[in-house]
Chain A
Amino acid sequence: MESYIEIKKLCFKRGHRSIFNDLSLTIPRGKVTAIMGPSGIGKTTLLRLIGGQLKPDSGEIYLDGKNVCQFNRREWFAARKKMGMLFQSGALFSDLTVYENIAFPLRAHTKLPEDMIRDIVLMKLHAVGLRGARELMPSELSGGMTRRAALARTIALDPELIMYDEPFAGQDPIAMGVLVQLIRLLNDALGLTSALVSHDIAEALSICDHAIIIADGRVIGEGKSSDLKKGGSPLVKQFLNGLPDGPVPFHYPAGDYRTDLLG
């Protein structure tokens, strides 16, 4: 399995809190990889580290064979043409129409004439099913439509890597179904590498080829979704099955119950 992203012994601290401690993982090329874990474990931070918005304290991150920790500002901006990130809120530019939003990266990075840009924008919007909504402003879109428009913007430059930050959060079943299908179809049709961060286990495992579970700042489970469901440590089992008690305890540490109540 050829890897697109390789992370080796990553350490990252936020203030005094250690988020990642010697984290190592690989994201295979051309596949949908789900990165899952309990809340607050640093999954969004991991995406920001891969995308270069944050710098790790130590360790190496390889993107398509290149060590990104040594990139300067200019090299980063060139590398970012080949990657896209879908933020949780969509993050469409609120003062531009949907059309203008999708055209933004095309106008910023290419010198294509306006009629070609129009063709590309319409094709991308058609791929996500929003060709008719192109003149709407982001404030006029529903949550699901906002995310689809943001997805169209992410694929505007035909990137090699797309990172999804909690794409299924707060979506109704239809919108969720649409997104799930789009992520899978786009990955296969465009030959992308997709990294999906989510705590929606069912949806994430249903479309991913490879799953990585992160807890306590390191990888606790990795592999095909079917393998993870069968085997795995108690923590992996608790996470995947949504068990309330296990290695992540239900009770916050407290003294003896009887003494507390009666004594």
Chain B
Amino acid sequence: MFELIRKTGQIGLDFSATIGRSGVFFMHAFFGLALTLKGLRLLVHQIYKIGVLSLVIIVVSGLFIGMVLALQGYNILIDYGSEQAIGQMVALTLVRELGPVVTALLFAGRAGSALTAEIGLMKATEQLSSMEMMGVDPLKRVIAPRLWAGFISMPLLAVIFSAVGVFGGMLVGVDWLGVFEGSFWANMQSSVEFSDDVLNGVIKSVVFGLVCSWIAVFQGYDLVPTSEGISIATTKTVVYSSLAVLGLDFILTAVMFSSV
């Protein structure tokens, strides 16, 4: 009985300690990016590894999701004779919701787990310790470029996802299902607002990028430096990032779109 209470208390304490460590870690890493030529070179290299190399999965997923949306949407809208609205449906769904959220989930799975594994392996092989012993702060040198690269890449990937998705929707809706191209684009243009829809979607993806990158680098930095520890940490990265993204999406949607 007491053991159960003690264990519950211990879990709570450990959780609070982890959140605290994560916060301190984030502050040091976020403000630790060196704005020198060397620092920017590291940042660009990381943006390539995290952002550019994720393009394939983002573009392919975006294309297929846009195509499926158009297909499913057409099946439903045709019953009401509103198939001309397919453009607006695809665009709004992507720009407001699926673009930021699916990109964040794919990002967490691909780039997030890679970041955690890389940093975790550097910790396990004592590379981070040796860097510290050489007087170079690993938070500034290793973590900060990766954190900022994720933060910068995510919104860009989300925008690309939405754009490719709309193109995929057009391929299916106009070229395959025969929706009139004029109304496809015209309806989309009249119903998608820049500040209400596109910008809100970008804000969401910025928040998701921050959260996913933070979770990924922290899990890598904080793990137990064994092979089992790395496996647990990469799993945690994907699970926590996904849950955080979906939870935050709900909150942000409620705040941004409830009055619309």
Complex contact A91–B137 (CB within 8 A)? no
Contact A78 B135 (CB under 8 A): yes
Judge whether B125 and A91 touch: CB under 8 Å. Answer: yes
Within 8 A of B (CB), among A86-139: 87-89, 91-94, 104-105, 107-109
Cβ–Cβ < 8 Å partners of B132 in chain A: 53, 80
Q: How far is the CA of A83 from the CA of B131 in the complex (A)?
A: 12
**B130 contacts the other chain (Cβ, under 8 Å)?**
yes
Q: How distant is the Cα of A182 from the Cα of B166 in the complex, in angstroms?
A: 65
- Taking CB atoms, residues of chain B closer than 8 Å to A53 are 129, 132-133
Query: With A and B bound together, what is the CA distance between A78 and B127 in angstroms?
Result: 19
Q: What residues of B have a CB within 8 angstroms of the CB of A157 in the complex?
A: 134
Verify B126–A89 contact, CB threshold 8 A. yes
**A51 contacts the other chain (CB 8 A):** yes
Report B123-173 residues with CB < 8 Å from chain A CB: 125-127, 129-137, 141
The SS class assigned to the B binding surface is helix
Tell which of B127, B129, B133 has the most Cβ of chain A within 10 Å: B133
B127–A51 touching, CB < 8 Å: no
Tell me which of B38, B127, B133 contacts A85 (CB under 8 A): B133
Q: Which 6 A-B pairs have the closest CB atoms?
A: A80-B135, A91-B130, A91-B126, A85-B133, A77-B135, A87-B126
Q: Which residues of A approach B to under 8 Å, CB–CB?
A: 51, 53, 77-81, 83-85, 87-89, 91-94, 104-105, 107-109, 150, 153, 157
User: What are 21 A-B residue pairs whose CB atoms fall within 8 Å in the complex?
Assistant: A51-B133, A53-B133, A77-B136, A80-B135, A84-B133, A84-B134, A85-B133, A87-B126, A89-B125, A91-B125, A91-B127, A91-B129, A94-B121, A94-B125, A94-B127, A104-B134, A104-B136, A107-B38, A108-B136, A150-B130, A157-B134
